[in-house]
Amino acid sequence: MKKRRGTGEAPPEDSATGQGDLFGGALGTPKKAAVVAAPKPPPEAPPKPAAPPAPSELEDVSAALPSLPGAPSRSAPTRTVLTVGELTQQLKATIESRFPRVLVRGEVSGFRGPNARGHLYFTLKDAEASLDVKMWASQAARLRFALRDGLAVVAEGSVDLYAPAGRYSLIASKLEPEGEGALALAFEQLKARLAAEGLIGDNRIRPPRPLPFLPRRIGVVTSRTGAALQDFLRVLHSRNPRLSVLLCDARVQGEGSAEEVARGIERLSRTDVDVIVVTRGGGSKEDLWTFNEERVARAIFASPVPVVSAIGHEIDFTISDFVADWRAPTPSAAAERLAPVLQDLEYALATWSVRLRKAAERRVLELRERLGSLRGGVVDPRRRLSTERLRLSDAEDAMTRVLRQMLRDHRENLRAHSEHLQRQRPQARLAEQRARLVQLSARLKDAVRADVAARRASAAQARLELERVSPITQVAALRARVAHQKARLVALEKDTLASAQRHFQRLEGRLDAMSPLKVMSRGYAVTFRKRDGGVVRSIADVQPGEVLGIKFANNGAKTLQSCEEIEATVTTVKGPVDC
């Protein structure tokens, strides 16, 4: 343990643990986490104006300050200086251990939806403060309602302090809307979204489809061991034991049940069933929540065959009831709607068979009576045929006369056109046009040849002009000039360098000649005082008993420090004499 300079006491050791490290223990602060948010203390009286500190308080505060150099020694403890990282780590350990699980009420703000990884980031705020909240994707996937700005929620989680940024936040594991349950909010939000898309409500895209009067096969999606299936089959077969039922076993509550129900609807829709019944018995809202899932609602809407929803009891309503083509209050009611009583059907069939036979007999009698009445009014077809033959012969004679007249008119027109064509003599006009075409073709060929010759001459002249003004010759001359200037520059650089070296050598010789080491090498020495290093130039610079240093320049010495030195003590000082 090191002792403080100027005192004979050692400083007290710092505590290695506890929150006393945050304040150095100088003011006697207890080692509890007083810097983190603690439960709100009971209200106190309004604070009074701060009074001037007493002399004793000033002494306590100044006792924690280190002593200044040269100040009187005092027995005072030293203060502890923490790095930002150490302070943050101690705060992090204190806060996270103090608040491992908290419930916080506030209003959602700054929510922009899940990020690319599915995490939720938002702020909880009230009139006094705000708190950053993070919810990881694994927890966010379990939310049964859509989060939005302005929603009052109660968040459950733990407080976390992010050391690099020095900010604390709440890691939420559960969110509940304040004032209404999460299931009710999720139900209303999904209902509103499906209504906006046209799956339910008055503006639904596809109206409810009619159910078949007597389905050949009924598809049922429910649990094989559920009481709802037994009630449905019991009522169905009691009314009509001949109906065929195709069951798709699926869990109707719990994790993953919505996917099984939706998959069962899709599988049954690809079979030969005429209608699909989605059913289960009664239960709490949580038990029936499988049929409030969006996955099930969209599977029902996408089914190509009608779907009957028979969920719970008559007072239970689910999203599936709104999307389905028909809602049954109970599984038994669904069976009654889909299965007419077989005896009633047979009785009605026998009744309609008797009525149909009697109606057919009455219709046959009516048709026979009408046939007899019509037969008396029919004329002999042979007389009618003779009349039609006479009328056809008169029409044929009239048509022959008209055709003969038309033929004579066409012959006259043809004769007139032939005479006009002979007068025009198209063969002569064609020969004249051919001769003119040959003449124009010869003139065109001559003009083309002359134009080609003129263009070739112009191109040759342009080529000659281009060769005269070509930059190749100028480039070659400039390159030769650049090479000449470069050679002159190199020679000038060499001459300048040689001249500078000669000048440097002359200066070096003059400097060497003026060097004190040269003078000392000829037998001279330099004397200086040892106490202050001053050079002795006269006897006035020394006193008897003073220690002197005498330096000699040996061979090879480059500086005064490398010279040989003799120490001597002055015994007497004499006056000036002739040297």
Please give the Cα distance from 219 to 245 (Å, whole number). 6
DSSP letters of 53-121? PPHHHHHHHHHTSPPPTTSPP---PPPP---HHHHHHHHHHHHHHH-SSEEEEEEEES-----TTS-EE
Question: What is the per-residue pLDDT for 264?
Answer: 92
Amino acid at 439: Q
Instruction: Tell me how many degrees the CA angle 532-537-539 measures, rounded to the nearest 5.
Output: 90
pLDDT number for residue 61: 32
Nearest Cα to Cα of residue 146 among 197, 102, 191: 191
**Predicted local confidence at residue 38, as pLDDT:** 37
Q: What is the pLDDT of residue 9?
A: 38
Give 538's DSSP letter: S
Could you give the C-alpha distances from 529 to 542, 552, 561, 564, 572, in angstroms and in order? 8, 15, 15, 16, 15
Q: Please count the CA atoms within 13 angstroms of the CA of 215 that sit on its side-chain side.
A: 27
**C-alpha span between 211 and 308 (Å, rounded):** 9
Tell me the C-alpha distance between 341 and 404, whole Å: 82
**Residue 180's pLDDT is what?**
52
What contacts 24+ positions apart, CB below 8 Å, involve 416-422?
A: none
Residue 414 dihedral angles phi and psi, to the nearest 5°: -65, -40
Contacts of 119 (CB under 8 A, 6+ apart): 134, 135, 136, 137, 140
| Residue pair 527/549 in contact by the 8 Å Cβ criterion | yes
User: Cα–Cα–Cα angle for 108, 111, 115, nearest 5°?
Assistant: 140
pLDDT at residue 73 in the model: 52
**Could you tell me the two tokens for 138?**
């694994």
Which residue do the tokens 């009509």 mark? 240
Per-residue pLDDT of the chain (579 residues; tens, 9 = 90+): 333 443 333 433 433 333 333 233 333 333 333 333 333 444 444 444 444 443 333 333 333 444 444 444 555 567 888 888 888 888 888 887 888 888 898 888 888 888 888 899 998 888 788 899 999 988 888 887 788 777 788 888 998 888 888 888 899 988 887 755 566 777 877 888 888 888 887 888 888 888 888 898 999 999 988 888 988 999 988 998 888 899 999 998 888 888 999 999 999 989 889 999 999 888 777 788 888 888 898 899 989 999 999 888 877 788 888 888 889 888 989 888 988 888 888 888 889 999 999 999 999 999 988 888 887 777 677 777 878 888 888 888 899 989 999 999 999 999 888 887 777 777 777 888 888 899 999 999 999 999 999 999 999 988 888 877 778 877 888 889 999 999 999 999 999 999 999 899 888 888 877 777 777 777 678 888 888 878 888 888 888 888 888 887 776 676 777 777 888 888 888 766 555
- pTM of the model as a whole: 0.39
Dihedral class, residue 19 (left if φ above 0, else alpha if ψ from -120 to 50, else beta): alpha
Predicted local confidence at residue 219, as pLDDT: 93
Phi/psi at 181 (5° precision) = -70, 155
* Spacing of C-alpha 217 from chain mean position: 48
What is the predicted pLDDT for the residue at 523?
A: 66
Q: Nearest Cα to 297, choosing from 279, 323, 278, 271? A: 323
Q: Where are the beta strands (DSSP E) in 209-355?
A: 217-222, 244-249, 275-280, 307-311, 326-327
* List of residues 6+ apart from 202 with CB closer than 8 A: none
As a residue count, the chain comes to: 579
Q: What sign does the CA torsion over 320, 322, 325, 331 have?
A: positive
pLDDT recorded at residue 74: 53
Reduced 3-state DSSP string for 433-499: HHHHHHHHHHHHHHHHHHHHHHHHHHHHHHHHHHHHCCHHHHHHHHHHHHHHHHHHHHHHHHHHHHH
Whose tokens are 């006259």? That residue is: 412
Distance CA 172, CA 153 (A): 11
Q: List, as one string, the DSSP characters of 142-166.
A: T-SS---TT-EEEEEEEEEEETTTT
Q: Give yes or no for a contact between 216 and 317, defined as CB atoms under 8 angstroms apart.
A: no
Structure confidence at residue 571 (pLDDT):
85
